[in-house]
Amino acid sequence: MGTADFGLIGHAEVLNAVRSFRGHALLLVGPARVGKRMLARVMAALFNCTASDAPCGRCVSCTALLREAHPDVMEIEPKAVTSTGKAARRKLIPVSVVTERRDEGREYERHVVEWLEVAPTFERRVVIVDGAEHLGDEAANAMLKVVEEPPHGAMFVFLAEEVRAVLPTIVSRTARFDVPPASDAEMNAAMARLGTTDAELLGFANGRPGVLIERARARGALEDARSLVDAVPQGMMAALVAAETLEKRFDADLHAEALRFVLASHEASVRVAADEALERLLAALEQYVSPSLAFQLFALELRAAFGSSI
């Protein structure tokens, strides 16, 4: 089994560059769903595979990675829920996941500092930070103390969509690798292997293999977005009902992308006004404004954005 069997499409050049990397901190930069996390997992496989043809996909280490149950791989991402159980609106990786001393409520089963004190089961412990731009100052500073002198030669792989959004202290201590979108040929071949055709989904993916891996969710988001956009010209009530439906299914990152994609076929003035309305919606949700009210206002602003075209 080769690296493609891990769900990795393209990025052979990045992987080859990483093979010769001898440091202990990487920063992978590329669009959402371009395959950064999968690439990070393949790197973890490279470091821990027990076969000579690494990653083999068959040894105990590789199969554990495929099951997402590897003892030497820790993945961190922004919290999906708050301490009260509500959906988190603002993305944040808190300091409490880095150090046990700051996790008084024991919200996390594992903490980076504590976890790295244990020697690896295989060759090398790997910490994957998916969303490095969401590390706050406290969390980043606590993480950097470990990055500078990693126990047992641990590896850190930071993932980010834009390097400018990552704290300079993280950027300066990592080797940066850009993860570009896959080619059209690679994406078409991947879709063929899935045994399906979906031109709109391929267009939405725009070279990002992760969209194909999450194709059911992506397709659902596109349909939700189109339902709202199609309802707007039908009248106030239709727009409000569609917005209420979207609220119940809303995944900020995926649905925001889907809305922008669906609106791309409209004239520039509509796109600009609609995008501004979408940004206000996302900001309102981060501030814990009533979701119901926020989506109602969004529907009204979309109708205003469509203006004379309604």
pLDDT by residue (tens digit) across 251-309? 988 999 999 999 999 999 999 999 999 999 999 988 877 999 999 999 999 999 998 56
Map tokens 């080619």 to a residue. Answer: 183
Q: What span, in angstroms and rounded, lies between the C-alpha atoms of 100 and 142? A: 11
Is residue 151 within 8 Å of 123, Cβ to Cβ?
Answer: no
CATH code at 33? 3.40.50.300
Domain check: are 167 and 45 in the same one? yes
Check whether 89 has a pLDDT greater than 80. no
Asked whether 49 and 62 are in contact (CB, 8 A), the reply is: yes
3 pLDDT higher than 50: no
The pLDDT value given to residue 194: 82
The answer, yes or no, to whether residue 107 has pLDDT greater than 80, is: no
Q: Is residue 197 part of a domain?
A: no
Name the token pair of 108: 């996390």
310 or 205: which leads in pLDDT: 205
5: buried, middle or exposed (CB in 10 Å: 19+, 13-18, 0-12)? Answer: middle
Segment 180-185 mean pLDDT: 90
> How much of the chain, in percent, has pLDDT values that exceed 70?
92
Domain boundary among 180, 203, 238: 180
pLDDT over 90 percentage in the chain:
60
Residue 185 maps to a domain: no
pLDDT at 10: 60
As a whole number, mean pLDDT of residues 138-161 equals: 93
pLDDT of residue 46: 87
Domain assignment present for 203: no
Same domain, 171 and 224: no
* Final residue in a domain of this structure, among 127, 161, 180: 180
Which of 15-19, 63-67, 201-205 has the highest mean predicted lDDT (pLDDT)?
A: 201-205
Residue 7 tokens read as 């769900």
- 111, 93 Cβ separation under 8 angstroms: no
Is 144 a domain residue?
yes
Quick: pLDDT tens for 220-244. Answer: 999 999 999 999 999 999 999 999 9
Residue range 70-78: mean pLDDT, rounded: 94
Task: Give the tens place of pLDDT for each residue, 31-68.
Answer: 999 989 988 998 898 889 998 767 888 899 999 988 88
Q: Are residues 149 and 278 in the same domain?
A: no
Q: For 3-17, 51-65, 101-115, 116-130, which range has the lowest pLDDT when averaged over its residues?
A: 3-17
CA distance 277 to 246: 15
In angstroms, rounded to a whole number, what is the distance separating the alpha carbons of residues 198 and 217? Answer: 14
- Partner residues linked to 25 by β-bridges: 156
State which residues form the domain around 304.
214-309
